[in-house]
Amino acid sequence: MSDHTELSASLFARASAVTPGGVNSPVRAFRAVGGTPRFMASGDGCHITDVDGNTYLDLVCSWGPMLLGHAHPEVTAAVQAAVSRGTSYGTPTQAEVELGEEIVARTPVEKVRLVSSGTEATMSALRLARGATGRAKIVKFAGCYHGHVDALLAQAGSGVITLGIPGTPGVTEATTADTIVLPYNDQAAVTEAFAQYGDQIAAVITEASPGNMGVVPPVDNFNAFLARTCKENGALFISDEVMTGFRITRSGWYGVDGVKPDLMTFGKVMGGGFPAAAFGGRADLMSHLAPEGSVYQAGTLSGNPIATTAGLTTLRLATDEVYARLDQTSATIQRLVATALEKEGVPYVIQAAGNLFSVFFVESSEAPVTGAQQIRDFAGASAQVLPRFAAFFHAMLDAGVYLPPSAFEAWFVSAAIDDDALAKLETALATAARAAAAV
């Protein structure tokens, strides 16, 4: 049980005095679920332990990176050895060459450029797409998150195809005027947008399989349709695999649907828990980048030797057996969640994209739909009973399971989850399902 939170509460008060909202990334603040965010002090395998000494089974995994679990001995040793040789030189190093080679070997990209965050990766991919095509407009989908890039922090207007309106103060209308926001999985909307703006569209950017509105996989070969439509119109298809890359399969969602994008973005797992991300794609497109070409992009800590060592060691340990184990663990957890919720009569939908999945607490008391994908877009994902998720989340937390503190997030598994952890999870789920039923 995790009923002592005094030290987390005291750190949160101190944090709130010096940092907006007490956190350095908004979702950590528990605003969606209420309560005191837990300040973690250590991690080991599938567990994280907070400053009050409560240990949790971790189903967030740092929002994706910790594929192998926390403090993996081989990753830790490689990082310690790298640190002892110095932490940054501002010159090329061998580890970044090897990480680049590993990414090229695992994915369809021919050339890759390393950066330090997923946000930088998508921002740079957009600039490259605009530079290479000489066009301005970008198509994105409502509910897909690509980091806090100004042009991508746009909300849809009221019509199906509207130019984006700024999604946050501080982003100007001019910045989002070239962003077209469409409903996800809506082929007709994409066709209409290209009919209207076809020769102005530089790129369509999409999460390869969205995980930032909860898990809402593409239906009816949506990615293949996007790739084809882009090709027919001289636009580029950018697949954002920051969340899915190297997590769902050796490559990512590409390993599931095999649709070849013009450009791709990566992050999370490839940094092994350090700030490393990348964008890559066709060699002819990547050659537009400085110093080969004229599209400028750079970074003081890009390809940092510690981050690249952690990422490379993680990827080398992420073998086919690891991905098979992740799939199996994920399927078991999904089954345990379904059983617990059904027992208490709580309506739910579970959607999965490989080992990524999320649980939607839906309104309908009908039996969960099997077969057809119930939630296809952001509007569907938004129709959740949020107070039910909050009750479920807190009961899980009290029982020692750390879930994403928002109903719009994927659950992340690690290869370190073992039978003891699954037994703990099953017990927690029984209580949490009752808490959700009581809302």
Active-site residue list: 145, 240, 268
Instruction: Identify the helix (H) or strand (E) that includes residue 41.
Output: strand 40-44
83-104 core/surface letters (b: 16 or more CB in 10 A; e: else): eeeeeeeeeebebbebbbebbe
> CA torsion, points 414, 420, 421, 426, in degrees to nearest 10?
130
Is residue 339 helix, strand or coil? Answer: helix
> Per the structure block, which two tokens stand in for 194?
């290209």
Q: Can you tell me the distance from the alpha carbon of 79 to that of 58, in angstroms, rounded to the nearest whole number?
A: 22
The binding site for ligand PMP (CB under 6 A) comprises: 63, 117-119, 122, 145-147, 207, 212, 240, 242-243, 267, 277
Distance in Å, CB of 288 to ligand PMP, minimum? 22
d(CA 378, CA 355): 21
For ligand PMP, the closer CB: 410 or 425: 410
| DSSP sequence for 273-331 | TSS-EEEEE-HHHHTTBTTTSSB----TTTT-HHHHHHHHHHHHH--HHHHHHHHHHHH
CB-closest chain residue to ligand PMP? 118
Number of H helices, E strands in the chain: 14, 16
Q: Choose between 51 and 126: whose C-beta lies nearer to ligand PMP.
A: 126
Taking the complex as a whole, the smallest distance from the CB of residue 411 to ligand PMP amounts, in Å, to 14
Minimum CB separation from ligand PMP for residue 24, in Å? 11
Beta-ladder partners of 237 = 204
Which three-class secondary structure state does DSSP give residue 11?
helix
Contact status, residue 123 vs residue 340, Cβ threshold 8 Å: no
Q: In whole angstroms, how close is the CB of 240 to ligand PMP at the nearest point? A: 5
> Closest approach of Cβ 250 to ligand PMP, in Å?
18
Which residues, in sequence order, are bridge partners of residue 137?
Answer: 201
115's enclosing H/E stretch is: strand 111-115
Residue 125 or 432: which CB sits closer to ligand PMP?
Answer: 125
- 45 vs 147, which CB is nearer to ligand PMP? 147
Instruction: Return d(Cα 129, Cα 102) in angstroms, integer.
Output: 24
CB closer to ligand PMP, 348 vs 411: 411
The position carrying tokens 């090329």 is 92
Least distance to ligand PMP, CB of residue 387, Å: 25
Q: Please, which residue, 212 or 229, has the CB nearer to ligand PMP?
A: 212
